[in-house]
C-alpha cells in the first residue's frame, strides 16, 4: 500500500522489537481514520500483543498487511 509507506516515511521511528514497531508523529501528520493529527503510530506484529499505557488516550485503528495499526491521540 503506497499510502501506508508514504505515511511511515513522514514519521520518526522509535521502537522496533518482536512484538511492535512504533513511530512518533513529529510533523503533525493527520490520522487516516479521524483526520486529526496523532501522536504515535504502533504496528502490532504478533497476533496477541499487550501494550502498557502510562495514561488514558484515544485510539484509532486500521489493518495493514495483516497487522493491527494503532494511532494514539493524547
**Tens-binned pLDDT, residue by residue, of the chain (74 aa):** 588 999 999 999 999 999 999 999 999 999 999 999 999 999 999 989 888 877 888 999 999 999 999 999 98
The number of domains in the chain is 1
| Prediction pTM value | 0.89
Its domain, for residue 54, covers 2-73
DSSP state for residue 29 in the 8-state scheme: P
Residue 26: closest CA among 38, 36, 42, 43: 38
Q: Which parts of the chain are beta strand (E)?
A: 12-16, 20-24, 40-44, 58-64, 67-73
Q: Give the single-character DSSP code of 42.
A: E
Q: What is the pLDDT of residue 12?
A: 97
What cell was used for 67? 497487522
Amino acid at each position: 500500500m503506497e499510502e501506508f509507506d508514504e505515511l511511515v516515511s513522514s514519521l520518526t521511528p522509535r521502537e522496533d522489537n518482536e512484538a511492535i514497531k512504533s513511530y512518533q508523529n513529529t510533523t503533525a501528520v493527520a490520522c487516516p481514520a479521524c483526520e486529526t493529527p496523532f501522536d504515535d503510530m504502533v504496528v502490532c506484529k504478533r497476533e496477541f500483543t499487550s501494550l502498557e499505557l502510562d495514561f488514558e488516550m484515544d485510539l484509532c485503528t486500521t489493518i495493514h498487511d495483516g497487522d493491527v495499526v494503532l494511532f494514539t491521540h493524547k
